[in-house]
Amino acid sequence: MMKCALIMHDVGKLVPRYQKFLRGEARLGDYRHEVVSAAITAITFKHRPWRIHVSAAILLSHEPILMGQVGRVGERYLTLTSVERILRLAGDGELVKLEDDGVEAINSLLEREGFEERVAREYGVDECLEVLKETVVATSIAGNRLLERLRVAALIHVLTVIDSITANESREDDEGGTFVTRHARQAEVVEVMGYGGV
């Protein structure tokens, strides 16, 4: 599950809009890559019993940023309307399209790591919306919510720490690191110094 989350969590950055943003050719606006990444993960791994947990962890991996954006448009929660708007920003309105080079890279990584699933080059917005509805229902309404949320929280924790450290190390202009990175390093120092009970 963790390996899948690490490979798939940024797949939403493969949409042309995000790639243009990286090149300085466009603004992101209200686009959130983790929403698209979560949908594509749920679709790609549809036969895996843990797909909902991984999809939910990816969806919530940047929760403060996502919820800040949702609040900016006057909503208190992440609604299906917000999700649909983000999905439509990812493509031409009806299809979420991914850049070919990125798809090839992700699929090579999936193969190398022993996954049989492969990412497609495009996904229907309605299909993405449906799997995200399923993800939200499974982790907030149906079944044993506490257990489901615990599984998701465990994945989010590891994903957030690894993603933050990796992003921080790849940014030359980030002197102090992110909040998560700074605190992860502090925790590491405490462990090394033998203060594990602190």
* Residue-wise pLDDT tens digits, 106-128: 999 999 999 999 999 999 999 99
Residue at token pair 């900016």: 72
Q: Which of the four pLDDT bands, split at 50, 70 and 90, describes residue 31?
A: confident
**Percent of all residues in the chain with a pLDDT value above 70, rounded to a whole number:** 74
Q: What is the pLDDT of residue 67?
A: 62
pLDDT score of 183 more than 50: yes
Q: Which of the four pLDDT bands, split at 50, 70 and 90, describes residue 198?
A: very low
**Residues 42/135, Cβ–Cβ less than 8 Å:** yes
* Helix extents (H) in 73-116: 80-89, 100-112
Residue at token pair 């890279």: 105
Return the bridge partners of 123, or none. Answer: 96
pLDDT score of 189 more than 50: no
Q: What is the pLDDT of residue 71?
A: 64
Burial class (CB within 10 angstroms; exposed 0-12, middle 13-18, buried 19+) of 108: exposed
pLDDT in tens, 47-97: 999 999 999 999 888 776 666 665 666 666 677 888 888 898 887 778 999
Q: DSSP E strands: which ranges in 1-147?
A: 95-97, 122-124
**Residues 35/131, Cβ–Cβ less than 8 Å:** no
Return the bridge partners of 91, or none. Answer: 96
Joined tokens for residue 166: 């990796």
Joined tokens for residue 142: 């149906």
pLDDT (average), residues 180-186: 60
- Nearest CA to 36 out of 55, 63, 64 is that of 55
